[in-house]
Amino acid sequence: MANFSKSNVPRFSVDVYQNAYLPEGGREVNAIVTVTSTGGGTTGGVPLADAAPVSTRTPGRAGPSAAVVLMVDCSGSMDYPPTKMRNARDATAAAIDTLRDGTQFAVVAGTHVAEDVYPGDGRLATADASTRARAKEALRRLSAGGGTAIGTWLRLADRLLGAAEVDIRHGILLTDGRNEHEAPEDLRAALESCAGRFTCDARGVGTDWEVKEVTAIASALLGTADIVADPTGLAADFTRMMENAMGKEVADVALRLWTPVGVEIVFVKQVAPTVADLTGRRTGAGPRAGDYPTGSWGDESRDYHVCVRVPEAGIGQEMLAARVSLILPATSGDAAPQTLSQGLVRAVWTDDMVASTSINPQVAHYTGQAELAQVIQQGLDARKSGDFDGATAKLGRAVQLASASGNADTAKLLSKVVDVVDAATGTVRLKARVADADEMTLETRSTKTVRVKK
Amino acid sequence: MSQIHEQASLPGCPGCEEPLESGDLFCGACGYDLSAVPAPPGDRPTVAITVPAPSAAGRAPAAPVEWPSASETDSSDLPAPTHRPADLPGTDSGGRPLPTADQAQGPAAVRPAAPDAVRSDRPDDGPEGASGDFELAAPDPRTAEHAAAAGATGGKVCVACRSGRVDTDGYCENCGHAQPRERDHLERELDSVAAVSDRGLRHHRNEDAFAVSSTALPDGSPAVVAIVCDGVSSATRPDEASAAAATAANEALLESLPRGTHPQQAMHEAILAASEAVNALAQEPGRAGEQDPHRHQNAPACTLVGAVMAGGLLVVGWVGDSRVYWVPADRTGPPARLTEDDSWAAQMVATGLMNEAEAYADERAHAITGWLGADAYELEPHTASFKPDRPGLVVVCTDGLWNYAEAATEMAAAVPSDAYERPLHGAQVLVGHALDGGGHDNVTVALLPFAVPSPGAGSACGTT
Ligand SMILES: [Zn+2]
Ligand SMILES: [Zn+2]
């Protein structure tokens, strides 16, 4: 595939896996698009000795400029047990230690209101030895008390990050409870206004928070979601998250899909490392083209499943069903967006039945992984609503899919919720007693996929 | 021979308005069947396999071909394994008889048609013409040239929707339709040989290839070469395989013939050179971005058929199921097929396990048992040498043509009467014949008018 990368951004490659052959009358074209970014994020989170540039990216060795806001839940429930607040403070301190020198940062204490406890006054600090020490000092003064209104935390993070002239804007959010002190619409509105302005990882600590709230934050802000059931695991998780954030090299990358006249987009999903439906997040980008947000990229590889419906054509015809490209938005008003790399999705009509009936292994695999995520969600919802037969059927199917695709992590999580009688047929029994943490872990991580065994 | 297309004052072709010449049975530009009832312009002729009756007494009952005996002396000092009339099937380059139904063959001489030794070259045979055409239908290859000419003034405009521009990948920026590629339709004409290759109507790309050339033997007499190859579509990169094989075989002959290598030996070596060229492709990575595991199970492969006219000899060589036919110029003698397919059906018939009707009715009939490529079981180049006693037309073609004119008499009937004088036109007509028949496969044909060197041996071309 063509690669148009420039020296100051990571090298992106696009590989398209598909069976382009359609039978007579065939219209649905499926393709797995693998996007791999290399050459950026080479620090892997290790703080650089040299200070990174503050406002503009310098081509060459220096990493991109970044700003990070840490949002720590300080609601009253964080004191039950008191170790929770202590662990949250320690974890935030560990994350601050992982900040690359020169990174701008702030700490927000979140309750029913949001307060920027460090450095304060609506500013960001620039990471170095002394600001890290002062930030950790500020953490020690945090105490639990008050409610939970996550939308206010996000809006403050947005104001702080929006003032910084940096390449990468990222948030890390920790909560231990439900978003009880604002209406669900308030959180939704906050997410809508923050989407595309910064990325955010979200973590739930303990088992008193709402999985769908935390996953919705990560999904809207193109970050990761996870559970930290045991607060002692927080520091390690925060360190990993910050390392990951520090590895990001380029932000606001969009997956652009161009389709010819008459071609209908059925769906666009990220399918690895997690399933995330992007279909509804399209923004127009010129005639017959639309952009789907993918957030920030470091050294990583993600897979997307693109499904389009093409007009019928005769045997022997060939058409371009879609052109997939990675786009970096224009940095200034008059500059054109930069195409990082692109791939072609084709359709070829043949009367060779062997060719047209074979299913591309990547497409088959990710179709299964997407179904796996869906049946886990449906199974857990059924279980909560008392529909045990439905739950058994859905979770049985999940066991079957996880087992067949080699998704060992998900299989392990499933086995804490159901007793597996026969994985191959998906025969399971619901466990009578399931720990909240196990159920929440399964739900939070249900979208995690594995890649095709090569 | 150089062809001068005299512009006659006849009305133009109903298909493309190309001026016609007296006696034309098909339009030389678009292959329009002029024997058919005129159809409205732009409408695809629906006359399938309408073969005009040969104008001469070509339908004589099949009498044995009367080949003269070969002269003992040849342009090279190598023993010349020429053939007597009774030896029409020829010998392979090892000197062994070719496997034919007529000749007793020990079973050991024929490879068993084990599944792994058989490759299908024919993904076809679906219902014909049942497709609801794409609403922005691609042009019929017979009219593609005209369409391209129409758009030529305003830069590259899509041939399908006629409104979108063509992007650098060769697709329309409006409707996405793939644009005709150079290889979709190729024509080449030299003084003494012409060839046409076409994508056909049912395949999205042309996986056939050809090479034609001429050179001179050490004594200064001319040598003419035609190579035709058919990519095995169940293997990866069949189009690259056929192109590599045709080029390599042609270059090998252009190198060895002027050195005085006996043409039959030269043909044998050319097939080996082609084989190496195709084998080498297996080591190369595929085209960037082509991720198509279904097609990546086999190394690139193709068939090869070639003909060389030199020193009064007609030498043919082949691997696979591409063929050479002989059509006497004056049509007084019967036509003949000069090659024996490396195919499942041919093998069944040769070993006496099935009769011809049974063998060709089997769905495995067209699976080939010999090919060039790294996965080839064991390369057995076949060559044969003939010494025709009269002028005739040598038809070198892929199965995309002979599927629509299998028997030698059918092929002779499809060859226009003036093909000996106008080989390019004749090749165009033959391609048109295959397209009218359904064009299920890529179609490639080279025509070599064979002239008997010694004067007085019936040198005049048949007039029709
Ligand atoms: Zn015409
Ligand atoms: Zn078009």
In a domain, B290, yes or no: yes
Chain A CB contacts of B136 under 8 Å are 311
A51 and A29 within one domain: no
pLDDT band at residue A5 under the 50/70/90 scheme: very low
Residues A289 and A392 in one domain: no
In contact, B370 and B438? CB cutoff 8 Å? no
Residues A181 and A315 in one domain: no
B interface test, pick of A315, A325, A346, A362 with most B CB neighbours within 10 Å = A315
Nearest to A411 by CA among A370, A451, A445: A445
B55 domain residue, yes or no: no
Eight-class DSSP state of B462: P
CB contacts of B294 in chain A (<8 Å) are 19, 21, 354-355, 358, 360
- Of all ligands present, the nearest one to the C-alpha of B45 is 1
Q: Compute the distance from residue B203 Cα to the ligand 2 centre, in Å.
A: 19
Residues of B whose CB is below 8 A from A351: 123-127, 202
The count of domains in chain A is 3
Q: Is the pLDDT of residue A427 over 70?
A: yes
- Asked if pLDDT for residue A302 goes beyond 60, the answer is yes
Question: Do residues A60 and A205 both lie within one domain?
Answer: yes
State what percent of residues in chain B have pLDDT above 90.
Answer: 48
Distance CA A65, CA A124 (A): 13
pLDDT category of residue A333 using cuts at 50, 70 and 90: low
Cβ atoms of A410 and A397 closer than 8 Å: no
Measured distance CA(A58)–CA(A125) in Å, rounded: 21
Cβ B132–A21 below 8 Å, yes or no? no
Given B132, B178, B294, which is nearest A318 (Cβ)? Answer: B178
Is residue A316 packed enough to be buried (19+ CB in 10 Å), middle (13-18) or exposed (0-12)? buried
B174 contacts A261? CB cut-off 8 A: yes
Q: Write out pLDDT tens, residues A153-197.
A: 999 999 999 999 999 999 999 999 899 999 999 999 999 999 999
A398 shares a domain with A326: no
When the pLDDT of each residue in chain A is averaged and rounded to a whole number, the result is 89
Q: Same domain for A179 and A261?
A: no
Residue at which a domain ends, from A325, A353, A381: A353
Between B209 and B20, residue with greater pLDDT: B209
Q: Which helix (H) or strand (E) holds B154?
A: none
Q: How confident is the model at residue B128 (pLDDT cuts 50, 70, 90)?
A: very low
CATH of the domain at A81: 3.40.50.410
Residue A318 in domain: yes
Q: Do B127 and A344 touch (CB under 8 A)?
A: no
The dihedral formed by the CA atoms of A189, A193, A199 and A201, expressed in degrees to the nearest 10: -20
Q: Select from A1, A259, A351 the Cβ nearest to the Cβ of B289.
A: A1
* Chain B residue with Cα closest to A17: B291
Tens-digit pLDDT profile for residues B283-328: 876 554 444 444 445 789 999 999 999 999 999 999 999 999 999 9
Say if the Cβ atoms of B203 and A316 lie within 8 Å.
yes
Mean of the per-residue pLDDT values of chain B: 73
DSSP annotation of B49:
T
Do B252 and B291 share a domain, yes or no? yes
Cβ distance B299 to B375 under 8 Å?
A: yes
Residue B457, token pair as written in the block: 């041996």
Burial (CB < 10 A; 0-12, 13-18, 19+), residue A110, is buried
Q: Are residues B227 and B174 in the same domain?
A: no
Find where tokens 């036509």 sit.
B335
pLDDT of residue A82: 87
Do B134 and A313 lie within an 8 Å CB cutoff? yes
Residues A123 and A210 in one domain: yes
Closest Cβ opposite residue B132 in set A19, A259, A312 = A312
Q: Burial level of A325, CB count in 10 A (0-12/13-18/19+)? A: buried
The answer to whether residue B256 scores a pLDDT higher than 70 is: yes
How many secondary structure helices (H) and strands (E) does chain B include? Answer: 8, 13
Q: Nearest-CA distance from B183 to chain A in Å?
A: 15
Total domains present in chain B:
2
- Per-residue pLDDT, B287: 53
pLDDT of amino acid B122: 42
- Give yes or no for a contact between A57 and A277, defined as CB atoms under 8 angstroms apart: no
Residue B54 lies in a domain: no
Q: Which of A353, A384, A405 is the last residue of a domain?
A: A353
Given a cut of 80, whether residue A249 has pLDDT beyond it is: yes
**Which residues from chain B sit within 8 angstroms of residue A259, using beta carbons?**
176
Residue B70 lies in a domain: no
Q: Give B365's pLDDT tier (boundaries 50, 70, 90).
A: confident
- Dump pLDDT digits (tens) for B174-224: 999 999 889 999 999 999 999 999 999 999 999 999 999 999 999 999 999
pLDDT score of A342 more than 80:
yes
- What's this model's pTM, rounded to 2 decimal places? 0.74
Please give the average per-residue pLDDT across B340-355, as a whole number.
91
Q: Is the pLDDT of residue A220 over 90?
A: yes
Query: B309 lies in a domain?
Result: yes
Question: pLDDT (tens digit, 9 = 90+) per residue, A344-380?
Answer: 999 999 988 888 999 999 999 999 999 999 999 999 9
- The answer to whether the CB atoms of A25 and B126 lie below 8 A apart is no
Amino acid at B48: A
Interface contact B296, partner A, CB < 8 A: no
Are both B193 and B166 inside the same structural domain?
A: no
Cβ-contact A27, A337 below 8 angstroms: no
For the domain that residue B239 is a member of, what is the CATH number? Answer: 3.60.40.10
Q: How far is the CA of A29 from the centre of ligand 2 (A)?
A: 19
Residue B252 sits in the same domain as residue B172:
no
Residues B99 and B141 in one domain: no
A435 part of a folded domain? yes
Q: Quick one: A209 and A311 in the same domain?
A: no
Whole-number pLDDT of residue A346: 96
DSSP sequence for B387-454? --SS-EEEEEE-HHHHTTS-SHHHHHHHS-TTTTT-HHHHHHHHHHHHHHTT--S-EEEEEEEE--SS
Residues, chain B, total? 464
Cα B4 to ligand 1 centre (Å): 18
- Here the CATH number for the domain that contains residue A8 is 2.60.40.3670
pLDDT score for B378: 83
Indicate whether B213 and B162 sit together in one domain.
no
Nearest CA in chain B to A359: B294
Which chain A residue shows the shortest CA-CA distance from B184? A316
Six-digit token string for B235:
């293997």
Q: Strands A66-73 and A104-110: what pairing? A: parallel
Q: Do B277 and B146 belong together in one domain?
A: no
Residue B33: pLDDT above 80? no
pLDDT tens digits, A90-126: 999 999 999 999 999 999 999 999 999 999 999 999 9
Q: Do B163 and B288 have their domain in common?
A: no
- Residue where one domain finishes, among candidates A195, A226, A246: A246
**B158 in the same domain as B10:** yes
Judgement on whether residues A373 and A422 belong to the same structural domain of the protein: yes
Question: Would the pLDDT of B126 be above 60?
Answer: no
What is the predicted pLDDT for the residue at B422?
96
Q: Print burial letters for B235-272: b (CB count within 10 Å at least 16), e (below 16).
A: bbbbbbbbbbbbbbbbbbbbebbeeebbbbbbbbbbbb
Residue B365 domain boundaries:
83-121+182-450
Q: pLDDT category, B241, cuts 50, 70, 90?
A: very high
Helix/strand/coil for A404: helix
Q: Which residue range forms the structural domain that includes residue A176?
A: 46-246
**Which pLDDT band, with edges at 50, 70 and 90, does A334 fall under?**
low
Q: Which residues contact A334 (CB under 8 A, 6 or more apart)?
A: none
